[in-house]
Chains A and B, each alone.
Chain A
Amino acid sequence: GAVVSQHPSWVICKSGTSVKIECRSLDFQATTMFWYRQFPKQSLMLMATSNEGSKATYEQGVEKDKFLINHASLTLSTLTVTSAHPEDSSFYICSASVDYYNEQFFGPGTRLTVL
């Protein structure tokens, strides 16, 4: 149980375009989902926390207008990278939790490459 999926697993896009990444909890309802960013050979950095039906909470230094997060249902959260630039190229990982206080289950990640 506790499976989290992400789609797509990898995406290549041109600079200036927008890219949407989906995070789904497959066998449980996730009130809370987290979005992380990971650069090569580095640790995970929390970008934002989203709660179903409410606005996401962004970490300091993360541009909320650039990284749009929507958590419209208990099984789906989306991260949209708007007007992507090469410096946005990274590995994006989501996690989901039954609620804010419980264990996070991680998705397999999405590799974004912006040309």
Chain B
Amino acid sequence: AQSVAQPEDQVNVAEGNPLTVKCTYSVSGNPYLFWYVQYPNRGLQFLLKYITGDNLVKGSYGFEAEFNKSQTSFHLKKPSALVSDSALYFCAVRDPDYKLSFGAGTTVTVRA
């Protein structure tokens, strides 16, 4: 079965510093990977996805993610974090039957 793991429950960074949210995956075949962000009491907002092609994927709000096949990772990054980036981030993988399986989520807190 396809799955993703987010090893960190929480990530805390200072505004202006780089932000990294980690995700590792376990799939059979080619991985279809996604990152979503959720603000309190809101649904999920799509940030970016990796289907194929370049290992560095650029997404919304200045986020990017690096697909690393040898390390089976798909870490989300932002060069300079903003206080408004404080939210809950989910990594997800699409199963062969097209359903999404989500990681446990990582709470990001960016302090001013």
Binding site for B on A (CB under 8 A): 4, 6, 34, 41-44, 46, 49, 91, 93, 95, 100-101, 103-109, 111
Which residue of chain B is the closest to A4 with respect to CB atoms? B43
**Which of chain A's residues have a CB closer than 8 A to the CB of B46?**
103, 105-106
Known contacts being A103-B49, A106-B36, is A111 close to B100, with CB within 8 Å?
Answer: no
CA–CA, A93 to B90, complex, Å?
A: 14
A interface, over-half SS: strand
A107 in contact with B41 given A43-B104, A44-B90, A46-B100 (CB within 8 Å): no
Q: B residues within 8 Å of A by Cβ?
A: 36, 41-46, 49, 90, 98-100, 102-105, 107
Q: How far is the CA of A109 from the CA of B41 in the complex (A)?
A: 7
- With contact pairs A43-B90, A43-B104, A46-B100 given, residues A106 and B44 touching in the complex (Cβ less than 8 Å): yes
- State how many angstroms separate the Cβ of A81 from the closest Cβ of chain B: 18
Distance to closest chain A CB from B40 (angstroms): 10
User: What's the Cα separation between A111 and B103 when bound, in Å?
Assistant: 21
Closest residue to A91 on the B side, CB-wise?
B41
Give A2's nearest chain B residue, CB to CB: B46
CB distance from B60 to the nearest CB of A (A): 13
Given known pairs A106-B45, A109-B43, A111-B41, the reply for A46 and B99 (CB within 8 Å) is yes
